[in-house]
Amino acid sequence: MQPIIECNHITHHYGDRLIYRDLNFHVEKGKILGLLGKNGTGKTTIINILTGYLKPTSGNCKIFGESMQNISTKNIARIGLLLEGHIQHDFFNIHQIEKYYSKFFPNWKAEAYWNLIEHLKVTAKQKISTMSCGQRSQVALGLLLAQDPELLILDDFSMGLDPGYRRLFVEFLKEYAQKEDKTIFLTSHIIQDMEHLIDDCMIMDYGKLLLHKPTEEIMQKFRRYDLPKEIDKNILNNDSFYSTEQKSDKIETYSFLSPKEVEEKVTKATGERIKIESSLLSLEDAFIGLTGKY
């Protein structure tokens, strides 16, 4: 089956600055892909390329099999897009904006909008421009779900949302993707929201893609290892280990290798059997382990 999103050989520079070289990925129908990365690694840049706002230095993206540079309006109508909580027409109130948007979308589901909006503590006549940042994000998300798009692209969807509403929206998204076989591509800095939501996880580093794996595989295989402070940390200097750090009381490192494999490597390098502690991680801790703290 043809993927919903295909990005082939994307290289992008802003002036002399390389954002990524030869980035390749695709998203299958019905999947939720989460794009994670530190500030400035190029997440919004990918979304801008994906949605045709930005032409990459080289390479191309296709959505529903069409190149984004000349996608048809029919296919554009199948995409719901949220750009960092942005909402236009903020001179409307919540009723007016629902009425206005409904005219543009043939599959408009008003109840999806009102299901989310009923949790908002605003008066019916309050203009969107006078709402708080989180309230505006909630209106934007409600409008998006009511469009009933086949593909949702959400850049930083959790921006400004309080924990309760974030959880509510994550539940809506999960149900939406499962029940109706919708595809979702999203970014967020609130990684604990992603852990129970995304099927696949793509982690950007500066200039490159660090990792693209099923979330389940990261949760089941990626571990933190604590080794005695006396061993030479250079033995952990290879591609199998991430963010190795000498602490005052231990050496800390992260790896996809199993505890047995790490033990064998360390025994081989030091000639002694060393006690090694290991722990599985939350997705946020795994992200820190993979990308480092700074």
Ligand X SMILES: Nc1ncnc2c1ncn2[C@@H]1O[C@H](COP(=O)(O)OP(=O)(O)OP(=O)(O)O)[C@@H](O)[C@H]1O
Q: How far is the CB of 112 from ligand X (least distance, A)?
A: 27
CA distance 65 to 75: 10
CA distance 29 to 183: 5
Query: Long-range contacts for 131-135 (Cβ within 8 Å, ≥24 apart)?
Result: 132/160, 133/85, 133/159, 133/160, 134/160, 134/161, 134/162, 134/165
Closer residue to ligand X in complex, CB, 45/183: 45
Of 4, 5, 10, 19, the residue at the interface with ligand X (CB under 6 A) is 19
CA-based radius of gyration for the chain:
22
Order of strands across the sheet with 5-14?
17-27, 5-14, 58-63, 66-67
Q: Give, as ranges, the residues between 96 and 115 that touch ligand X (CB under 6 A).
A: none
Q: Should residue 73 be labelled a site residue for ligand X when binding is judged by CB under 6 A?
A: no
Closer residue to ligand X in complex, CB, 10/19: 19
Q: Which of 26, 27, 23 is nearest to 150 (CA)?
A: 27
Q: How far is the CB of 277 from ligand X (least distance, A)?
A: 33
Q: How far is the CB of 16 from ligand X (least distance, A)?
A: 10
Q: Should residue 188 be labelled a site residue for ligand X when binding is judged by CB under 6 A?
A: no
Q: How far is the CB of 168 from ligand X (least distance, A)?
A: 23
Q: How far is the CB of 287 from ligand X (least distance, A)?
A: 13
Q: Should residue 14 be labelled a site residue for ligand X when binding is judged by CB under 6 A?
A: yes
Closer residue to ligand X in complex, CB, 39/248: 39
Q: Should residue 16 be labelled a site residue for ligand X when binding is judged by CB under 6 A?
A: no
CA distance 104 to 99: 10
Closer residue to ligand X in complex, CB, 18/122: 18
In the stretch 33-52, what mask flags binding to ligand X with x, by CB under 6 A?
----x-xxxxxxx-------
Amino acid found at 118: E
CA–centroid distance for 217 within its chain: 16
Closer residue to ligand X in complex, CB, 136/182: 136
Q: Should residue 85 be labelled a site residue for ligand X when binding is judged by CB under 6 A?
A: no
Q: Should residue 255 be labelled a site residue for ligand X when binding is judged by CB under 6 A?
A: no
Amino acid found at 268: K
CA distance 294 to 283: 17
The residue count for binding ligand X (CB under 6 A) is 10
Tokens of 20: 């990524």
Q: What residues line the site for ligand X (CB under 6 A)?
A: 14, 19, 37, 39-45
